[in-house]
Amino acid sequence: MKELEDRIQRDGQILGNGILKVDSFVNHQVDPLLMDSCGKEFARRFASLGATKVLTAEISGIAPALMTAIHLKLPVVYARKTKPVTMPDQVYLTLAPSHTKGRMVELIVSPEYLAQGEKILIIDDFLASGATILGLVRLAEASGSKVVGIGALIEKLFEGGRAALKHLNLPIESLACITAMDGGKITFGEPV
């Protein structure tokens, strides 16, 4: 999606260690109009899947997932990383390694909002190693739901997430696919 690629090229910062900082429009400050365009584009690409719910992980997944859910007119659930007092004792919980935090994080969903038979569309900000998205897939499967598609704003193809998700045989869409981040230069391409 050209609008997102242009914005990454203009405002993204390569911090080293494979980290792309997009804090000025995705992760700390959010550009709501860009996010609306991204949500509309996800809705268009996934319109035919018959999804019944959008699932994401707090915190950075919330904005793109919410904007996708608006355009699909579906509820969105965000997996929590700490269990709030409002959640029942019995939950779906899985562990996923966090690249930016350098440790395992919990992903928790209440059975109240992930019922058997749902068709789940997973939306997140990044597809890097795929670890967070695989965690969300495990949560959906634990509930007896079926994941029908996976979308990420930004894919770092060279970190292997698409390969790690291949066995799921699901449509995977990223709106900006980065094939290389060498020498301070961001190169976009098509997933292969």
Residues in 4-43 that interact with a copy of itself by CB under 8 A: 15, 19, 21, 23-24, 27-33, 35-36
CA angle 15, 21, 22 (to 5 degrees): 160
Instruction: Retrieve residue 183's tokens.
Output: 């020498």
- The crossing angle, in degrees rounded to 10, of helices 62-72 and 32-46 is 50
Residue 52 sits in the site that holds a copy of itself (CB under 8 A): no
Residues 6+ apart with CB under 8 A from 169: none
Least Å distance, CB 93 to a copy of itself, is 14
The amino acid occupying position 68 is T
- Pick the closest to residue 151 from 50, 54, 75, 21 (CA basis): 54
Residues 6+ apart with CB under 8 A from 36: 67
Alpha carbons 54 and 48: distance in angstroms, whole number: 14
Kindly write out the interface string for residues 62-101 of this chain, putting x where it contacts a copy of itself by CB under 8 A and - elsewhere.
Answer: xx--xx-xx--xxxxxx-x---xxxx------------xx
Least Å distance, CB 179 to a copy of itself, is 21
Residue 51 sits in the site that holds a copy of itself (CB under 8 A): no
Least Å distance, CB 102 to a copy of itself, is 8
Residue 2 sits in the site that holds a copy of itself (CB under 8 A): no
Residues in 112-151 that interact with a copy of itself by CB under 8 A: 112-113
Q: 131, exposed or middle or buried, with CB in 10 Å at 0-12, 13-18, 19+?
A: middle
Nearer to a copy of itself, 10 or 73 (CB): 73
Least Å distance, CB 91 to a copy of itself, is 10
Least Å distance, CB 19 to a copy of itself, is 7
Q: Give the footprint of a copy of itself on this chain (CB under 8 A).
A: 15, 19, 21, 23-24, 27-33, 35-36, 58-59, 62-63, 66-67, 69-70, 73-78, 80, 84-87, 100-101, 109-110, 112-113
